[in-house]
Each structure stands twice: as structure tokens, then as C-alpha cells.
Chains A and B, each alone.
Chain A
């Protein structure tokens, strides 16, 4: 789960990590008032749940009231990667001498949290990671020890020569680790963490994402969730036991199992088609689930054909076939369906589908080819 910059900084501030003075605004007039209050220069920053705001023109430095108004008018309502900007953060301008990167995430290989810092913070950190990985220091944190003071100090010494800064950073890094652990975050990032002209560390930006699996024990974090329209659909699907992600193609997919669902999408692409969605219906033959899944797929108007790919493992194919027949009797859909059913009791399952006049194919590749040709026919 993602949250906005202003929310991340509120959390950081709660842990006494110094952040910029700033005010959240929903309208041009609020921006004007906020800018007057904070004084000039200040920065108007789009609050959207996606990266690349700066490059999209969603962050503007303003020097006077007029510029603040212009920036607010331009940024509010702006589209950034499909997200409409509904609120902006007005942050006090800060003069600084240097930009640091500090981030915490989970490393699969060490199976621990890893702290990453770099002297080359700022918007180009991803390029630094690619072109000059030695400039990013990584420290795996043993969960038994946590961010012990000595470790925080070690990291701080890797960054700073000035002991005053080392002391500040040692304190800040321990707090940052505590935020990470306390909130079940999957990422906490301050970029940039600046050294101000009066030699203080200050978080100019903040980013946090959280482990979805842990939200059950993080009610305060969960309350910050602002799902987009597509995500609402995904959440609604999840409540019905379905895992759904909308894509842009024309071939609707219904598959059991996440891995097989991904492989099915790959297969469609391999044969030149475009999947309309990722949809994992899980391991049940419950007709209601099939009905819910079918309704979800056809709610996307781009869908021209539905491809059902079921591998019967624990769930037997004859049960799945009965579920499909029952479901398709209840919802009459006009677009063609291609069914591929394989695995345990597939013979019996295919017989049931044949008797119900539902066309089947034998392999995944056949299913993909047929679905693609049907989607093309449909367009003609």
C-alpha cells in the first residue's frame, strides 16, 4: 500500500525526524494563503500516488504570490501517469548545501531489512543506482540487533566527515528504522535528506509503502489508504476471493492460480494478442466465484473474448466444469468464450462442457490462438 508524501512526512515527524514546514492544500486560494504564511520562496508539490512528479512538472519552486497562484492553477487537476492531482503540498523553501539519500527496504537475499544511503541523493538516485552502484552504501540489519547505535554511527560515518552531522544522523537513522519496523513498511525513503546551510539534517521529501500482508495489524496505516478507481475494483474482487488487475487488451482471462494466470497472459502475448486483465480465481469450483469473475471481466468494455484456463489440481476438473456450466447458464454473455480445462478428471470435465455446448480446446497455446482469432473476428 502506498501513501502520499505529506502522510509519510507526518509519520516521520511523529518520530521526531525533522521535516520541512508545509501545508496541505486542495485549492488555489488555499495555496495562496499557505504560501503567504510560510513565506517565499516555497515549493508547490503535487500529491499523487505515483513517482516521477518532478519530471511531469508537478513540482514548482515559487518566489512570489503571483508564481504561487500560477503554479497552483497549473498543478491542481494535472494528470500524472493517469492520476489526477487533487491536492498539493506547499513546503517552505530551504537553502541547502548537499543532498543525501536514505532508505530502508527488505532484501530477499539477506532476508533482512537493508539500509541504503548515498551522498548522491536527489532526483537522479535511480541513475546513480544503475551507473554508479558503489556510490550507494548498503547495510543489512540483523533483526536481533536492530539499528543499534553503533550501526547507525557506522552508517553515518560512511556519509559524513563532520562529527556534528554524524551525531544528528546517528539519531535520525535509528528513528527511521523504528518507523520502518513499527509500521510494517516495505519501503521508507528520504530523498533528499538535505544538509541545510546552517548544518542541520532535514527531510525534504518522504516516501513510504507498506506490506499488504501486515495491514491487519496496522489500522492507522490502513486508514490512510486511498485506492484509485482500478484499485477499488481490485479490492472489490479480493473481497470475493478473486485477484484481479485490469490491463489494456481485449482478451479477458479467467485462470486458477497466480503463476498460471501470469503464464496465460504471457501466452496470449506470445501469440500476438493483448490480455485485458490478470484474474486469479483461486482454487475453488464454486459457481458463484465463476459468476463474479465473469461479471468482473465483462465490466471492461474492451473485452472481446473470454479465455478460461483452468488446471484441475486439488479442485477436480469435473467440479470446475459443473461450476462453469451453472455460472454460464445464469449469466448470458454475448461475447465468445474459449475454455481450456486440464488436469485431474479432465476427461469427465470436458464431457460435461461438451454436453452443455461449451467449446473447449486442449492446450494453453491452442486456447490463446483461438481467443486471439475470435477477438479479431469480433472486431470485423
Chain B
């Protein structure tokens, strides 16, 4: 088991003929992800890396029975692409596109809710259930199948963590990059619940960042609903206030969302917070008694 994606995932790539879409389609196929189709309006009938291209998501779903879609289209069109996938009945949409206007995300949220579509991102690296499916731009080779569920607001920091987990013999059930934007799809609470319910996951790693109060809310959620051990790491503890550190979400405004507040919130509910990435494997091993 794993969460969200597995061997039964049938994936569409929206924006498959673009440079990034095409490149990462190949990587996903190489990893073993079941890529069943791509979408590029006006290019229906072509193939990319042997994958059939359709003009609309609806056409692609009808022909392939796809249940998941990943979005590589440029940011100004990304929200529309998410809506198109939701309308066509796709259950899980992963938006990789970076730079999507915040109000676009606000506007599409009610429709996704109405259709029951799950969204990850935008501005995220994607997700992976090792040995089953990799969706997005994650470097598949550093992951290893196992029992740790991981969620993160950052890309390379996630890879850094995963690399250390894998080298310590701690494999992963599923790793999810939730993205660094102010308004994103699935957040910590939903993913924590999924990991809690996943029989394969034995412990959870949460990689947070300064800004907002998502980590504080996650801490509260853990206290109330999560029985599995959770360890955390917060990036950006020393970032100056008011500066946007690459991620639009990682900005401290008027004294809230600081790293210290987040660490305190986690420690108050018994979640250990690593002070540097290399401490994570040891903390996990102690908690799992291995």
C-alpha cells in the first residue's frame, strides 16, 4: 500500500508536447509510471515517447480510463488545466507549474470541492510511491520502498531528506511535495490522515517552512487525530522577515509564521523537530525502535 498513487494509477500529462512536459514524461515512463496519455490542444493524434496525445482531457479519459493527471502547462493556463481535468472526472491532479496567480487558485477551489477532485500543488515537485509510480519531477533513483510517509513544502530539501533516509535504510511508502504557494491543494492535515490510515506507513516525516500557520495547524491535527509517530523539520528558521525566499509561501509577515513558533507548536504536542536534516533518520529509528 501507499497513498494517492500506486501501480493502478493511470496518468495523463497535460502539456505533454512542451519542453518540460515531454522531458519529464520520459522520466516518469522510465520509472515505471503508467502514463496512458497526454493532452495538447491541436496536437491530438500525435504521440510523444509512444504516448498518445489528445486534444482534450475528456477525450483522453474516454479513450484511456485515466484517473490521475499531471500538469506542466505554463502558469497563466495552469488553473484552467486543473479545471479541465476535474470536469473530465480525474480524481487526482498534480500541478507542477510554477508562478500560478493566487486568485486563480482561489477561483478553482470551489469547483474542485464540488467535483471531489484532489489537487496537489501548484508549484510542487509531485509525488512518488517508490517502486509503484512517480509523478512530477522527482529524481526517482534516490527513493526506496519502505514504511516512512513524507510530506514537504519544498523540493530539493525533500530530496536531501529522502537521500538521508534511503542511506540509513529507511524506505518510504509515499513522498508528497505539497508545493510552496500561499494557496495550494492538499495540505498537511489531509495527508496526515491518509498516512494514518495507510497500513504500510509506520512513521511520518513533515518538512515545513516558515510563513503561514499550516505547521501550527498540522501540530493541532496530530494531537487530535494521529497515532503514528511524526518527526518534523522547519526550513528558513533564520530567514529575515518580509522577504520572499523563492517560495511565495515562505514569507514571514508581522511576526507570525516564524520558525520558533512552529517548533514550539510541534514540541508542545510531542512531535520532535530536527535541527538539521541529518538528525531525521536517527529520530525515526529511535521512535520505531530499530
Contact = CB atoms under 8 A, between A and B. Distances in A.
Nearest to B177: A259
A364 B278 contact: yes
Interface string A190-224: 00000000000000000000011110110000000
Contacts of B107: 143
Interface in A254-285: 255-263, 265-270, 275, 278, 280, 283
5 contacts: A186-B182, A262-B209, A262-B235, A263-B233, A311-B163
A365 B182 contact: no
Contacts of B160: 260, 263, 311, 342-343, 364
Contact of A142 (B110, B210, B254): B110
A269 B248 contact: no
Q: Is the interface of A mostly helix, strand, loop or mixed?
A: mixed
A122 to B, nearest CB: 16
Contacts of B155: 257-259, 313
How big is the B interface, by class?
35 or more
Contacts of A267: 276
Q: Which of the listed residues A109, A211, A266 has the most CB atoms from chain B within 10 Å of its own CB?
A: A266
A213 B137 contact: no
A113 interface: yes
Interface in A107-124: 108-109, 111-113
B163 A262 contact: no
Interface in B181-197: 181-184
Contacts of A247: 240
A184 B103 CA distance: 7
B149 to A, nearest CB: 18
A201 to B, nearest CB: 25
Interface of B: 27, 75-76, 99-107, 109-110, 137-139, 141-142, 152-160, 163, 180-184, 207, 209-210, 212-214, 217, 233, 235-240, 243-250, 254-255, 259, 275-278
Nearest to B214: A108
B144 to A, nearest CB: 14
B246 A261 contact: yes
Interface string A133-167: 00000000011100000000000000000000000
Nearest to B159: A313
Contact of A108 (B152, B182, B275, B277): B182
A379 interface: no
B246 A258 contact: yes
Nearest to B110: A144
A364 B247 CA distance: 21
A78 interface: no
Q: Is the interface of B mostly helix, strand, loop or mixed?
A: loop
A213 B236 CA distance: 21
Interface string A328-349: 0000000000000011100000
A343 B155 CA distance: 13
A350 B247 CA distance: 29
Contacts of A212: 244, 248
B184 to A, nearest CB: 8
Interface in A303-358: 311-314, 342-344
Q: Which of the listed residues A186, A260, A267 has the most CB atoms from chain B within 10 Å of its own CB?
A: A260
Given A265-B239, A365-B276, A259 B156 contact: yes
A126 B254 contact: yes
A144 B207 CA distance: 33
B30 to A, nearest CB: 12
A194 B182 CA distance: 31
Given A106-B182, A259-B247, A364-B278, A214 B110 contact: no
Given A213-B101, A263-B235, 11 more contacts: A108-B214, A108-B249, A109-B213, A109-B217, A184-B101, A184-B102, A211-B102, A258-B245, A263-B236, A266-B235, A343-B160
A37 to B, nearest CB: 36
Interface in A231-267: 243, 245, 247, 255-263, 265-267
A376 B212 CA distance: 36
A257 B156 CA distance: 5
A363 interface: yes
Contact of B103 (A181, A266, A314, A343): A181
Given A257-B154, A262-B235, A111 B105 contact: yes
A262 B183 contact: no
Contact of A106 (B102, B158, B233, B237): B102
A311 B75 CA distance: 26
